[in-house]
Amino acid sequence: MRLRNLAFGFVFSITAAAAPCDMTSYKAQQGLSVAGRPEGAQITWTGERNEQLRADLAVVNGKPVVRELAVRAANGKWIVLGHDLSPEYQVTTGKRRLSEQQMQPLRELGIAISPELIAKEKWNAFWDAPLMIPGRGNTNLDLPRKSEEIRRDWAAWNLTGCKVTTLGGRVEVSFPGVQLGLFSGSLQYTAYRGSNLLRQEVIASTDQDSVAYKYVGGLKGFEIHDDSKVIWRDTSRGWQQYAFGGSVNDEAVGLKARNRLALLETGGGALAVLPPSHKFFFSREIETNLGYVYYRKDSEGQFALGVHQPDHEESFRPGGISDAVWNRRVGEARGHLDNFALYNAPPGTRQRMAMYFYLSPKDGKATQEEVMAYTHDDVYKPLPGFKVLVSHFHFHLNEQLTDAKTMDYQPTWLQVFRSLGINIAILADFHSDSHATDTGKVRLDEQKVYFEGTRRFSDKDFLLIPGEEPDANFGGHYMFTFPKPVYFTHERKPANPNAKPFTETLAPYGKVYHTSTAENELELLKQEQGFVWQTHPRTKGSAGYPDATKDTAFFNSDRFLGGSYQSLPVDQSEKRLCEVRCLELLDDMNNWSGAKYMIAEGDTYMKFPDDETYPQLVVNYVKLNKVPRFDEGWGPVLDAMRAGDYFISSGEVLLRNWALEGSGAKRFFNTEAEWTFPPEFAEVVWSDGKKVDRQIIDLADMAPLSNHKFHIPFDATGKKWVRFAIWDSAGNGAFTQPVHLK
């Protein structure tokens, strides 16, 4: 990816100076004001700690110019962090394709792969890499990919005006007239009262079909002074810096910066650059830090800063003592290169290509601490009465321990979970590892190692639960978990007249189950009080599910919890994470049946402490006062999940003490919530069993880094269920599970 100098990177239209800004939608307020200029507008606002911030925006000859970014401490002097800067945007586009991973389960259901189905289902593709030429065979429809499918376009600016809009405690300044390759739209800046954040984005749409894309966003024209330097924490959390003493760059220098954050120190202050903490990241199978922020020295006097995604995945570091394990891990690591999906851009949708600047009168390290408050330092914040649970990880623990020839080999992923503040993790061995479909001693011995390994690394406030994704007879992919270790084997619809008995007692394992039908899989769950849920529903190997099984006994059983929640796919026009595939399914399931829930999952493979895991993970906050010890069993965890006593969160928005108050028709939905990024809206969602409806509560006037107690009237007349959610301006959020009304 080339981020060239201004003269080479942009196409300019020479026009007269733009007319003064349209101020009809602007409302002056204390702590947030806009002054109209002949060429644009100047925003002045109060940030955190009563600091004052200023952004002077202009249009000159059709081009956007940031005349000045400045900040001062309360009663201090103004510090200019940059002046006469030029926004830079580049978009890389490719073709979205339906994956073989989706087509296989649909064919098994007898569903024809028609043009109409392709047009719908391709937008749920996970296994796709539009920039990988020619692509690996048997992964996607209509391969090989062709180089002419890929376009790389810089923004062509022909700005024709300016509009200022006040929305609660924020102000937007929008400049229409941006052509960004296949996209056309506007450039927009948003300032938030009470926050030092300044959001810069291109909001644009395309009329072409099958567009997958990624974007670069930044500012260029920063002057190099004696005190100018970019600092960042590397993946080991050590501080690094670059003071622009090297040669001019031809391309962007992508920084594998911890926390996706780079900071410019200049003039006694600092300017941080960062992407949205979760919406910027499309789903992958590993969290290798690919470098999401960049600098570029354009000349001896100027440089640029911004955010970007690279063109491809990077494989994780394979490990293994034996050749068998080593070769398997190498193949898995290399295979991830063929999966780098980018964002969806369905025709007509308004894609928001966002990034943030954070203005500070302090030095870089102090500014870093202030910025990290927005993600709690990339830790899932502890909440009294809750424990943080994650699920669905293919780490191959049995193979790791067996290969290492010791039960006391500490896996790298264990450290990742602990540093994120996770208390409970449900693993999913026996998927692409071990001997998942063996029905005898080989699998049972491997299960024994698996159980002992999860026991060995569980602790007083940390529990590993040995789950499994058997994918046998319920349809699609699904997760099994039990309140204690359970030995079982499974076959998929065998024609074996000599199938093993459903149960038998075998030394040294004890009771062993053998399943071969949906009926005895359900019976296993009932006898051992286990639970099942559909993993990655409506995509991957679960395309068509659980829709195809919604009338079955196992779906309607209380053993079937629901489906997994994962930010897949990513469409930057959606205001919520996984807005269509996940949340629409949640509502559908509760209309089809009794209480069904979403379980936030990772569905990823190897992890290392230097990965960038936080932005690619969503978690469950489960109502628990303590983490059960492994040998006590983890029934209380599963009981809380079955009762819906948990909420899902990306980490920036947190809930507590939610409940419906009252009885009869007139009730209230009560909860206390807190958030970091400026909040966008809360919503109460309900259904009568057929039609889903909602009440939106605008939160744009509420302060960032704050909290609120909600007391929302709710008419329960004719309603089957209700749920609650809050979403912030960066696309992060939290939501409760549906409550079925009596």
Position 3 scores a pLDDT of 40
Q: Chain-wide mean pLDDT for the chain?
A: 94
76, 392, 396 from 401: Cα distances, Å: 59, 19, 9
Is residue 10 predicted with pLDDT exceeding 50?
no
**pLDDT for residue 496:** 66
Determine the average pLDDT of the residues in 333-358: 94
Segment 547-574 shows an average pLDDT of 97
Q: Look up residue 100 and give its amino acid.
A: E
* Mean pLDDT value of segment 529-536: 98
736 vs 317 pLDDT, higher one = 736
Residues forming beta bridges with residue 687, ordered by sequence position: 692, 721
Check whether 6 has a pLDDT greater than 60. no
- What's the CA gap between 492 and 481, in Å, rounded? 19
Over residues 562-571, the mean pLDDT reads 97
Cβ neighbors of 663 (< 8 A, separation 6 or more) are: none
Token pair for residue 437?
Answer: 């479909």
Please state, in angstroms and rounded to a whole number, the distance separating the CA atoms of residues 419 and 390: 13
CB of 308 closer than 8 Å to CB of 255: no
Averaged over 197-202, what is the pLDDT?
A: 98
CATH class of 383-485+532-647: alpha beta
Higher pLDDT, 471 or 377: 377
Average pLDDT over residues 40-61: 96
Angle at the Cα of 517 from the Cα atoms of 511 and 521, rounded to 5 degrees = 45
Average pLDDT of span 246-256: 96
Distance between CA atoms of 573 and 35, rounded to whole angstroms?
A: 30
Number of H helices, E strands in the chain: 12, 42
Q: Alpha carbon 621 to chain centroid distance?
A: 16
| Residue 29 scores a pLDDT above 50 | yes
- DSSP state, 6? H
pLDDT band for position 336 (50/70/90)?
Answer: confident
Average pLDDT over residues 366-382: 98
Token digits of residue 244: 């622009």
Asked if the model's pLDDT at residue 386 lies above 60, the reply is yes
Could you tell me if 388 and 314 are in contact, meaning their C-beta atoms sit under 8 angstroms apart?
no
Query: Among 4-18, 222-236, 397-411, 478-492, whose mean pLDDT is lowest?
Result: 4-18
Residue 511 pLDDT greater than 50, yes or no: yes
Q: Which amino acid is at 668?
A: F
The fraction of the chain above a pLDDT of 70, given in percent, is: 97
Strands (E), 516-575: 531-534, 560-565
CATH of span 6-93+151-374: 2.70.98
Bridge partner residues of 43 (DSSP): 34, 55
From the number of C-beta atoms within 10 Å of its C-beta (0-12, 13-18, 19+), residue 577 rates as buried
- pLDDT at residue 589 in the model: 98
**DSSP character at residue 21:** P
Q: Which residues pair with 52 in a beta bridge?
A: 46, 72
Q: Are 424 and 622 in contact (CB under 8 A)?
A: yes
Q: How confident is the model at residue 38 (pLDDT cuts 50, 70, 90)?
A: confident
pLDDT at position 19: 55
Q: What is the pLDDT of residue 1?
A: 39
Task: Look at the block and give the residue holding tokens 């569903």.
Answer: 111
Mean pLDDT of 179-196: 98
* Stated pTM of the model: 0.95
**What pLDDT score does 431 carry?**
87
CATH code for the part of the protein at 652-742: 2.60.40.1200
Instruction: Tell me the pLDDT tens digit for each residue of 153-170.
Output: 999 999 989 999 999 999
Q: Determine the average pLDDT of the residues in 622-626.
A: 97
- The predicted pLDDT at position 11 comes to 30
Q: Tell me the CA end-to-end span of the chain in Å, nearest whole number.
A: 57
pLDDT digits (tens, 9 = 90+) for 93-126: 999 999 999 999 999 999 999 999 999 999 999 9
The residue-averaged pLDDT of 602-606 equals 93
Percent of the chain with pLDDT over 90: 89
pLDDT at 18: 47
Task: Residue 509: count other Cβ atoms within 10 Å of its Cβ.
Answer: 17
Contact 470, 477 (CB under 8 A): no
Q: What is the pLDDT of residue 315?
A: 86
Average of per-residue pLDDT across 55-84:
96
For 400-446, how does the pLDDT look when each residue is reduced to its tens digit (9 = 90+)? 999 999 999 999 999 999 999 999 999 999 988 889 899 999 999 99
Task: Give the total residue count for the chain.
Answer: 742
Per-domain boundaries in the chain: 6-93+151-374, 383-485+532-647, 652-742
pLDDT given at position 8: 31
* Averaged pLDDT, 679-708: 97
The set of residues, in sequence order, having a beta carbon less than 8 Å from that of 558 and lying 6+ positions away, is 594, 642
